[in-house]
Amino acid sequence: MNVHPAAEPSWNGLAESRPTLDSRAYFGAEEYARDLRDIWYRNWVHVCRSSELAEPRDFRLFRLGDQEILLLRGENGGLRAFHNTCRHRGSALRTEDSGRLKSRLIVCPYHAWSYSLDGDLVRVPSKSCPAGFEKADHPLYRVAVAEWRGFVFVNFGAEPGASMDGSFDVDPGVLADWPLEAMTSAHVFRKTMNCNWKIFWENYNECLHCPGVHPELSALVPIYGRGLMDRHDDPEWAAHADDTAPEFSGTLRHGAETWSSDGSAHGRAFPELGDRERAAGQTYVTHLPSIFVVGHVDYVRAVSLRPLSPTQTELTAEWFFTPDTLPPTAEELDNIVSFGRLVLEQDAAICEVNQRGLASGRHERGVMMPEEYEIARFHDWVRAQSR
Write the pLDDT tens digit of every residue in 79-135: 999 999 999 999 999 999 999 999 999 999 999 999 999 999 999 999 888 999 999
Who contacts 210 (Cβ-Cβ below 8 Å, separation ≥6)?
1, 217, 218, 224, 225, 227
Write the pLDDT tens digit of every residue in 3-53: 444 445 699 999 999 999 999 999 999 999 999 999 999 999 999 999 999
Contact 246, 283 (CB under 8 A): no
Dihedral over Cα of 162, 166, 170, 171: its sign: positive
Residue 52's φ and ψ, nearest 5 degrees, are -80, -10
Q: What is the pTM of this model?
A: 0.94
Who contacts 275 (Cβ-Cβ below 8 Å, separation ≥6)?
none
Among 8-12, 52-56, 162-166, 189-193, which is the least confidently predicted range? 8-12
